[in-house]
Structure 1
Amino acid sequence: MYATRLICVTWNIHRARGHDGLVDPSRIHGAVTSDLAPLAPDIFALQEADEECRPHAGLLDMNRISAETGLAYQHDAPGMRWGRDSDGFLGTILFLHPRFNVTHSDVLDLPGHCYRGAVVIEAVCDGIPVRVISTHLSLFQPLRVIQMRIVGQYLRRRPEMQNILLGDLNEWRPWGGAMFQHRLIGRSLSGPVRATFPAKRPLLPLDRILTDREGAVRDMQVCTSRALRSASDHLPLKAEVLIEKSGE
């Protein structure tokens, strides 16, 4: 039995570089205001939201995004950021609705040629424990398998609760590939598949919103508008995730 629902939005903003090649954070802010904040998300995940090179400095105004969406920025603690100049952990940034009572937060280093990581927030929402994991995985399938294995090993050490995994998982195959095998991560993750890349003509479902409760991801939509298509090479993905009562 499901007790509550969460509106989730994830977007790889491509370091604010639009299809014209120009880096323009104001376009990201404008698209958040005009297209994403009205969706009233409970969970808002960004990827590639810090600069690529050291010191991985921030690109956006976190206070402005919080004000526009009504969501709380989850990286105030230094340990939740890659460095003092960063807004997130290797470009991954999470915002949560104030009704989330955060009980534990963590970051995971994931191996690869390019820096990769995951942000983990455990919280009680409407009286129900839930874990939110946002990440940006490798372009190379064998590395994605290793990265998801590390996420699975981490989950085995943590208390049992429903998991929501969202972000740019870089898996182009609709069926998901080896990285989603139950034996690899210790649980089955599922959700509808929608193409989000490239933004001008989406062909590949690189961005995902998944949970480990079958059939609990609903109303999956790719968010599209002129503002969103011009701001990044990915389109945002939005879905409703139903949260199961503890112990049911």
Structure 2
Amino acid sequence: MQDVVAATGKSRTDGLRLRCASWNVHRAKGADGRVDPDRVRAAIAGALVPEAPDVLALQEADAECRPHESILDMAGIASDSGLVWQHEDPEMRWGPQSDGFLGTILFLHPRLEVGHRDVIDLPGHCHRGAVVVEAQVDGLRVRIMSMHLSLSQPLRVVQMRIVGQYLRRRPIMQTIMMGDFNEWRPWGGLMFNGRLVGRRFHGAAPRSFPAHRPLLPLDRILTDRAGAVSDVRVIATDQTRAASDHLPIRGEVLISASELSPRR
């Protein structure tokens, strides 16, 4: 949808690590049933910013129903974190009153030089979507995708097939997928089948839901390079437990010029 600044630089063979964080903020509705956007911002500043993320992905960060109005303070979160909100172009938002695309919002560190940004409309009983940014950092290319998928496995399969078809149309580069996949099985299920998506994605399955007693690994950080995701853990603090029904997760992804993981 939008081509921005293309970076230049020599490729590195040793790779580099990106720190990634993802959080379904439940439209700022906390454990006490109260909607409190300031509490979410404070939890991001107090619990996620100390992790020094290069990538911050939020889901359910706009209102659920049309016109999907904004809820959070984007300028405040950007100021607290030093990250750049990726939705200033209207084409990167669901509508003029939204901060993201169907509640999916992405922030990136300024050192990631953005070359292409896009959104993917994903069908379902509840309207879902993905946000895509392709960037370079220290001469290495990376695609970052944040998404929120359906509660229904058949719909998740359809949605991931659409994501896979999108990837086939884009240039080959290492891809990171992160967000709320709503897949409760640690082994992943059909939606992560390499034949369905076109490549195999790898990553841990930390238990992130429900926030008060996490049992299900709904939130993931994945990439299509085997062994490239490390130090994945849930960020469980009093602030994050109170602010949403999900806990945020963080992890590190090694970005390199290595080969894609084969289908499986």
Quickly name the TM-score band, shorter chain normalised: over 0.9
Tell me if structure 1 keeps the 8 A contact 2:225–2:259: no
1:15 pairs with 2:27: yes
Within the candidate set 70, 88, 113, 1:58 is matched to: 70
Tell me if structure 1 keeps the 8 A contact 2:23–2:58: yes
Match of 1:99 in 2: 111
Match of 1:33 in 2: 45
Misfit runs of 4+, over 6 Å: none
Tell me if structure 1 keeps the 8 A contact 2:225–2:258: no
- Which SS does the other structure have where 1:66 is aligned? helix
Q: Structure 1: how far apart are the matches of 2:241 and 2:258?
A: 39
Tell me if structure 2 keeps the 8 A contact 1:129–1:246: no
- TM-score for the superposition, normalised by structure 1: 0.98
Match of 1:191 in 2: 203
Q: Structure 2: how far apart are the matches of 1:140 and 1:2?
A: 40
Within the candidate set 166, 174, 192, 1:154 is matched to: 166
Tell me if structure 2 keeps the 8 A contact 1:138–1:170: yes
Query: AA paired with 1:76?
Result: E
Tell me if structure 2 keeps the 8 A contact 1:161–1:246: no
In the TM superposition, 1:60-209 aligns within 5 A as 60-209=72-221
| Count of equivalent residues | 248
Q: Structure 2: how far apart are the matches of 1:230 and 1:45?
A: 19
- TM-score for the superposition, normalised by structure 2: 0.92
TM superposition shift of 1:53: 1.1
Deviation string, structure 1 residues 168-197 (Cα, Å, up to 9, x no partner):
000000000000011101000010111000
Q: Structure 2: how far apart are the matches of 1:58 and 1:41?
A: 23
Q: Structure 1: how far apart are the matches of 2:18 and 2:206?
A: 19
- Which SS does the other structure have where 1:218 is aligned? strand
- Which SS does the other structure have where 1:146 is aligned? helix
Q: Structure 2: how far apart are the matches of 1:42 and 1:181?
A: 28
Q: Structure 2: how far apart are the matches of 1:140 and 1:220?
A: 25
Gaps of 5+ in 2: 1-12
Match of 1:216 in 2: 228
Q: Structure 1: how far apart are the matches of 2:20 and 2:116?
A: 20
Gaps of 5+ in 1: none
TM superposition shift of 1:246: 6.4
- Which SS does the other structure have where 2:212 is aligned? coil
Deviation string, structure 1 residues 50-91 (Cα, Å, up to 9, x no partner):
001111100111111111111000000000000000000000
What CA RMSD, in Å, does the superposition of the two structures yield over aligned residues?
Answer: 1.0
Deviation string, structure 1 residues 99-154 (Cα, Å, up to 9, x no partner):
11111100000010101000000011111110000000000000000000000000
TM superposition shift of 1:245: 2.7
Identity %: 63
Within the candidate set 229, 242, 248, 2:254 is matched to: 242
Match of 2:5 in 1: none
TM superposition shift of 1:2: 4.1
Q: Structure 1: how far apart are the matches of 2:233 and 2:132?
A: 24
